[in-house]
Amino acid sequence: MHDNIVQTSTWSTPLAPAISGVLPAARRLSVAPMLDWTDRHCRYFLRLLTRHALLYTEMVTTGALLYGKGDYLAFNEDEHPLALQLGGSEPAALAQCALMAEQRGYNEINFNVGCPSDRVQNGQFGACLMAERQRVAECIDAMRTAVSIPVTVKTRIGIDNQDSYEFLSEFIQTVAERGGCDTFIIHARKAWLSGLSPKENREIPPLDYPRVYQLKRDFPALTLVINGGIKSLDEALVHLEQVDGVMIGREAYQNPGVLAQADSRIFGGVDPFGQMSGVVLAMLPYIERELAQGTYLGHITRHMLGLFQGIPGARQWRRHLSENAHKPGADIKVVEQALAKVSGRALTADLTN
């Protein structure tokens, strides 16, 4: 399929920073792996907004990588720093897939021990693995033996009625000591493995940020990244007083402008764009290249719908893209027409406001 071709950017100004020594700093802010959302087009778009935050793929299962027909590891070189999230529960299969990812150029392997969906549970991976900490340790150890890039874990603070602090700390200790994992991303909600949908599991179980803070105090040598319900850089900075990193999920997708000041406020650097229009214009060469390879316009623009959230013309922008990007023959003109529907003042709006 044309849509799976890896395309190295020919844009004259490389986006990706040098990777050596970057990854630990990049974990100060990351964008969560989100199924059906953080595909390669989404990640390229988000990379325009922040050159330093760590980006994650959607979860890819070992079965898909080992037996599937698609190229599930495809990415654009400008997406770095980039982590692959793996789903599975067999150490040998995970090790093989981790090696495949390292050979393709990924900067980190992240092991999914947090997804609560029935489909994931039926495959014996995701959040249900919290109840099998020794198995998780074995999986991490196998991947760490196979690759030289970091192997990390994304998990919850508990599952079902196994939600005590002791349960969580024993899980962390076992995976750290026996598996060798030194970086954990903690979604500060527990997961109900039955009775709640994945969407409800992201909203109904209460957030418990102090529990994650306590983990950092009890395991100071570990890198701990907090995730769940974080909607602004102001909130991220508050969390960074307690933990090593912050992962933003749905807010970064639905309101990508939240990342516009990340490079200056979180990383002490320079933000890539000073005006909203610059982000869209920087996407145009990428879109043109992808269209030439057979990618449908809507597969790209669906990730851009929330860019102008809260700005005059945002509704017209979303509507025009939603109604026209999936039409046969839709091309770059659809994006240009959508941009023209946003008010002139909004197009030149300072992203620092």
Q: Cis ω on the peptide bond leading into residue 81 (within 30° of 0)?
A: yes
Classify the C-alpha dihedral 177-181-187-188 as positive or negative: positive
Rounded CA separation 222/298 (Å): 41
Spacing of C-alpha 271 from chain mean position:
20
Q: Kindly report the number of other CB atoms within 10 A of residue 54's CB atom.
A: 25
φ and ψ at 329, to 5 degrees? Answer: 80, 5
Classify the C-alpha dihedral 54-60-61-66 as positive or negative: negative
* Active site (catalytic) residues: 115
Closest CA to 286 of 14, 10, 4: 10
Residue ranges in the chain assigned as alpha helix (H): 23-26, 40-49, 62-67, 91-104, 118-122, 133-146, 165-179, 198-201, 209-218, 233-239, 250-254, 262-265, 276-292, 297-301, 314-324, 332-340, 344-347
Name residues whose C-beta falls within 8 Å of residue 212's C-beta, 6 or more positions apart in sequence. 157, 186, 188, 224, 226, 242, 243
Rounded CA separation 128/347 (Å): 46
DSSP letter for each residue of 296-347: -HHHHHTTSTTTTTTSTTHHHHHHHHHHHTTSTT--HHHHHHHHHTS-HHHH
Q: Kindly report the number of other CB atoms within 10 A of residue 164's CB atom.
A: 12
